[in-house]
Each structure stands twice: as C-alpha cells, then as structure tokens.
Amino acid sequence: MKALFVNGSPRKNWNTHKMLESAAKGAAEAGAETEIVHLYDMAFKGCVSCFACKVKGNRTNGLCAFRDPLTPVLEKARAADVIVIGSPVYFSYPTGPTRSFLERLMFPVLAYKTEGRRILKRTVPTAMIYTMNCTEEMMPKVNYPVLLSANAGALEMLFGYSETLYSCDTMQFTDYSRYDVTLFDGDHKAQHREEQFPKDLQNAFGLGKRLVQKAVEMNQ
Ligand SMILES: Cc1cc2nc3c(=O)[nH]c(=O)nc-3n(C[C@H](O)[C@H](O)[C@H](O)COP(=O)(O)O)c2cc1C
C-alpha cells in the first residue's frame, strides 16, 4: 500500500507541508508506505495538449506521455493507492504548479467516451488539502467552498473518491512586525496558530489514516 503526498507550496516546513506531513503520519499508522514530493523542486509544465493519451490504441496506460522532470512523480502517482495533494490558496485557486500537476495527473485518466469518463479500474482515494489566510467564516462569502471543491469533483470522477480539507487563517510570516501589513494581526495569527493549527494537523492525520483504510475497503 503506497500513499503519495504532493506539496504544491513553494515553502518547505510551512503550513501546507506540515499538513501533508501529518496526513502522511496518519497514512503510515494505517499501514501505508508514504512519500512526500515537492512540486517546486521541479521545473515542469502543465498539459501541452499533445493528446498522446487519447490516440486510439495508445499504450500510455493513464500516464502522461510528455516527459519532463514531473514524469517520475506522475509514475509514482499512477502506482499509488492513495494520493493527497496540498496547496496554499493563491488568488482563490491552488498554486500554478499544483494546477499544472493536476492537469498532467488527471487528463491521461480521463476518457473522452460517451459510455464513461473513467479509465481506472480500481479506486484510488484522493484528497486536496488547502491552507489559506481566509478565515472559516469568510469562506462562503468569497465562494471558496465552490471554487476549491471543483478539483475534488474532478478527482472523485476520475479516481473514485475524494475529500477536501481546509486549514484557514494560517500564519504567513514568523514575525508580522517585519512586514508592511495592516490587514492581518500578528497576535491573532500567533494565537490561532497555537490553538487551531494543532487541530488542523490532527484532522490531516485522520484524513491520511482514513484514506488508506478506504483504499483497502473500496478495492475488496
Ligand atoms: C501569491 C499569494 C497569493 C495568495 N492568495 C490568497 C488568497 O487568494 N486567499 C487566501 O486566503 N490566502 C491567500 N494567500 C495566503 C496563503 O494561501 C497562505 O498564507 C498559505 O497558508 C500559505 O501556505 P504555505 O505556508 O504552505 O506556504 C496568498 C499567498 C500568496 C503568497
């Protein structure tokens, strides 16, 4: 049982990475072999519309044919039993590299067929983890539940199962006094980090564990 965790944040050891680490610990507790990869360590493109994966009789087997530094990660994702993708919210969407990764992950397993869109025979439980400045109360006002659940919808259709987890009101800088910021209060952020973030990490742990259990149950 392999569980792959994909960090779509440029920062290591910050909010998104920490949420993924916790989810990976949960997956490991449920018996999975886990790995975290960092998208910003690689120079890669999104889908280039080559359509090699849609050619009649193609042998891509659901793997993107365009070869670049992302290829080994896509191979790992294709072999994984669980895939968890974490991203900060940048201007209401996942980061650019996260989107590029999702295009390359999803398009080759999308069938352009009237009889069904899915080519995968087994269920691969997936999840999106988002971290953001936005507070939980503000989320509906800025339409995030709708905007951010679009990816989970596509993942669910193609891989058979998907969940979305949010970590809101995250701490963006270690020392707010250094930055020209009046929109966010450093003391509030520090308090939220101390009180809420451990709960978010616990939720991520539970998510990782649950997805591995689902991978077993759903493929029996
Ligand atoms: C370029 C940029 C754009 C951002 N846009 C948003 C946004 O639209 N909504 C939001 O809630 N937070 C936004 N943020 C804040 C990040 O989503 C938040 O700090 C996140 O937790 C950072 O993740 P990290 O700590 O893993 O890097 C933005 C941050 C940056 C750098």
Residue 157 pLDDT: 97
Helix (H, G, I), strand (E, B) or coil at 73: helix
Report the largest interatomic distance among the alpha carbons of the chain, rounded to a whole angstrom. 60
Closest C-alpha residue for ligand 1 atom 6:
90
Q: What is the pLDDT along the chain (220 residues), one digit of tens a residue?
A: 999 999 999 999 999 999 999 999 999 999 999 999 999 999 999 999 999 999 999 999 999 999 999 999 999 999 999 999 999 999 999 999 999 999 999 999 999 999 999 999 999 999 999 999 999 999 999 999 999 999 999 999 999 999 999 999 999 999 999 999 999 999 999 999 999 999 999 999 999 999 999 999 999 9
The set of residues, in sequence order, having a beta carbon less than 8 Å from that of 97 and lying 6+ positions away, is: 8, 39, 40, 44
Residue ranges and CATH numbers for the domains of the chain are: 2-218 (3.40.50.360)
Residue 196 pLDDT: 98
Residue 27 pLDDT: 98
Amino acid (one-letter) located at 167 = S
Closest C-alpha residue for ligand 1 atom 14:
90
The set of residues, in sequence order, having a beta carbon less than 8 Å from that of 188 and lying 6+ positions away, is: none
Place of tokens 């983890």: 129
Residue 148 CA to ligand 1 center (angstroms) comes to 14
Alpha carbon distance 49, 52 (integer Å): 8
Nearest to 169 by CA among 201, 124, 136, 198: 136
Ranges of H-type helices in 80-196: 96-106, 144-159, 186-195
Residue 129 and residue 207 in contact, taking contact as beta carbons nearer than 8 Å: yes
Residue 102 CA to ligand 1 center (angstroms) comes to 19
The set of residues, in sequence order, having a beta carbon less than 8 Å from that of 35 and lying 6+ positions away, is: 2, 3, 4, 5, 24, 76
Residue 7 alpha carbon, nearest atom of ligand 1: 26
Residue 6 CA to ligand 1 center (angstroms) comes to 17
Closest C-alpha residue for ligand 1 atom 31:
90
> Quick one: which H or E segment has residue 160?
none
Per-residue b or e along 121-138, where b marks 16 or more CB atoms closer than 10 Å to that residue's CB: eebbbbbbbbbbebeeee
Helix (H, G, I), strand (E, B) or coil at 17: helix
Residue 181 pLDDT: 96
Residue 155 CA to ligand 1 center (angstroms) comes to 22
Alpha carbon distance 76, 78 (integer Å): 5
Residue 50 pLDDT: 97
The token pair at 85 is 């993708």
Residue 119 CA to ligand 1 center (angstroms) comes to 34
Ligand 1 proximal residues by C-beta, below 6 Å: 9, 11, 14-17, 88-92, 131-134, 170, 172
Alpha carbon distance 195, 131 (integer Å): 16
Amino acid (one-letter) located at 212 = V
